[in-house]
Structure 1
Amino acid sequence: MIQKRANGLIQFMQKEGLTLVLAESMTCGLAAMKLSSCIGVSDVLLASLVCYTPKAKTQLLQVKPATIHSHTCESREVTRKMALNLSKPIKADVYAAITGLASSDGSETKDKPVGTVFYAIRYKRKTHDFRNVFRGTPLEIKTKATGELYHLILKTIQKPEPE
């Protein structure tokens, strides 16, 4: 399922002439790795940055420490900043960021249990936010989250523009 979604995303983006940059936290490069098996990936995927720790998010993606302190590393707000700030070092058509909790060593709460994943997809100067909760082992959660990332990117870029 995950490879089918990866292939579909790359085929569509290649056909449309779109490029992609990723910022991954919880998936630790899994999203880029799965895309790398697709024919045409070199036309689409420009870069992927793994920013697993708060320090990496602040130093590499310029997420303000205050944002992380106020909202935690695994939050909508931090994920939005990750996607937005990806556009500073490299130009692409689509920027996507993913953060979340695959195991119980993060900022989980009753409202944000293990398995919670945040996505931010920036396309045509608009950032689209998504949240999902998955169940399973840490690897199963990361795999499901990666497949959903591909689906959400495709859904965002296929969405017709309002007239």
Structure 2
Amino acid sequence: MPSEIITECSKLIAQKGWNIAFAESASAGRLSAESSLTPNSGDILRGGIVCYEVFVKEQILKVPHYLIKEFTPESMQVTQVLAQQAAHFFNSKITVAITGLTTAGGSETKEKPVGTIFLYIITPVGNISHQEVFSGNPEEIVLKAADLAAALITKKISE
């Protein structure tokens, strides 16, 4: 069952006659799945791509290697390119890209601990760049990020 904020966000997107697509690394498709469970999913969900591994980011979504090397796969710079490429790929009105660290073993540092999530969201009324650190197990982090993405979209397209 998707959260109330995801259901409300989907309803608002449907009311505007828009659609949504996802480029998901850290969440591995969970944001798309949550969206697919809303009553408006058939009206709004365009699709999604899981780009968990660097190979997919570079080879399919065409993130330049130098960005990954300079900023790491889990960075705002990479997340922004993922959103831009997915928006083009899916021809979507709203595109959400997410990268981050839900478990140890990635590019975590003292400044970027496990739980760090990067969201870059493209909407017809402006783009959103947001970074936040969540606590919890990997699923809790991903679900909190999904709710945050929905809240950010709802706020932006309601302005």
**TM-score if structure 1 supplies the norm length?**
0.92
Distance of 1:146 and 1:90 partners within structure 2: 20
Change (3 A) 1:125 1:8: closer
Distance of 1:4 and 1:127 partners within structure 2: 23
Runs of 4+ in 1 over 6 A off after TM superposition: none
Distance of 1:154 and 1:147 partners within structure 2: 10
Per the TM alignment, residue 125 of structure 1 is displaced from its structure 2 partner at its CA by 7.6
Unaligned runs of 5+ in 1: none
Contact 1:96 1:121 in 2 (8 A): yes
Matched position secondary structure for 1:34 = helix
Measured on the aligned residues, the alpha-carbon RMSD in Å equals 1.5
**TM-score if structure 2 supplies the norm length?**
0.94
Aligned residue in 1 for 2:31: 31
1:158 equivalent to 2:138? Answer no
Contact 1:2 1:147 in 2 (8 A): no
Distance of 1:19 and 1:109 partners within structure 2: 36
Query: May I ask how many residue pairs the two structures share in their alignment?
Result: 159
Aligned residue in 2 for 1:98: 98
Distance of 1:50 and 1:12 partners within structure 2: 25
Change (3 A) 1:22 1:51: same
> Between the two proteins, what is the percent identity of the paired residues?
33
Matches within 5 A, 1:1-163: 3-124=3-124, 126-159=126-159
Per the TM alignment, residue 45 of structure 1 is displaced from its structure 2 partner at its CA by 0.9
